[in-house]
Amino acid sequence: MRYKKFGNSDLETSVVGFGGWPMGRGHYGSFDDDEVVRAVHASIDLGVTLFDTAAVYGWGEGEKLLGRALEGKREDVVIVSKAGIPWDEEGGGRRRDSSRESLEKSLNESLTRLQTDYLDLFLIHWPDESRPMSVPMDAFADFQKQGKIRYGGVSNFSPQQMSDCLDVFPVVTNQVGYHLFDQRPEPEIIPFCADNGMGIMAYGSLAHGLLTGTMTPETTFEEDDWRRSLMAFGQPIFKGQNFLDNLKKVDTLKEMAADKGFSVAQLALAWVASEPTVSVALVGTRKPEEIQENVAAADWELSPSERAEIKAVVTG
């Protein structure tokens, strides 16, 4: 396992991190809680140090399950959680609210569910444009003084929004969707983070399952799986002809990976993790047997020319 810092900060992470969205029941279909706990333990044994979750994953249940899995292992890991999307009831309406009151309530509830008295990294999940960015950043400064968070960051923020935050508080990361089928952060977000000493947390590193190499034209999703819409953050990667075309690209990537002795999932992870500004490539998994394959990708550091060659398969 390789380890990196978040930009210019002292916060260190394994380059492959454990993404907790799939353990939030009601988002990614059915799963076994005990198997998830075993997957978390296997990750730690193989050198994974960062575990990412959010209050809204499973409407709090994802944090509870992660807290159970990390019991007795707190000092060995970096725990990341996110706030700013309160909900009215389980499965009900959600809204963006980065007021101090909302963030403080969410943080305290997250600490209880995660069975810890501090978070290593606390993020605003999505930007709340109804108020100045100084409002949540002032709250972050107070949470840090109180010892409830070590560092603060943001998720899904634009360069201007990050700049507004940095005027008030030294956020160390922006967590954004970044993978071979979603390269939208490259023109502006990644350069901004590089220029301002921030690291990227990349979510969806395996294109939300598309780059696992297990999908076929017959793949369907359970009713409580968000991918059932066939859209992924505004991109129709699972929809109609786009999906079929993408599967052909995955087949080509499989061949490229096999020539190097790797799987297509490892190639996809290595591609993300080899971007210099990426601090951690998050992988959502619930099965212990998938962990070893994911972790092996950390040792495959691609050169810029190799990354460009792989990118060309997808972009043409």
For residue 50, what are the CA distances in angstroms to 15, 119, 143, 249?
Answer: 9, 11, 21, 30
Active-site residue, 151 included:
no
User: pLDDT band for position 29 (50/70/90)?
Assistant: confident
Pick the catalytic residue from 28, 57, 151, 203. Answer: 57
Percent of residues, the chain, with pLDDT higher than 90 = 85
Buried-state track 238-253, b at ≥16 Cβ within 10 A, e below 16: beeeebeebeebbeeb
pLDDT (0 to 100) of residue 93: 56
Tens of pLDDT, residues 271-302 = 999 999 999 999 988 788 888 889 999 989 99
pTM of the model: 0.94
Q: Mean pLDDT over all residues of the chain?
A: 94
Q: Which two tokens stand for residue 142?
A: 């107070």
Rounded mean pLDDT, 3-9: 97
DSSP 8-state symbol, 232: B
Tokens of 120: 């290593």
Nearest to 187 by CA among 159, 160, 155, 211: 159
Residue 88: predicted pLDDT = 73
Instruction: Report helix, strand and coil shares of the chain as percent, to nearest 5.
Output: 40, 20, 40
Interval 89-146: pLDDT, tens:
665 557 899 999 999 999 999 999 999 999 999 999 999 999 999 999 999 999 999 9
Contact 199, 172 (CB under 8 A): yes
> Do the Cβ atoms of 125 and 82 come closer than 8 Å?
yes
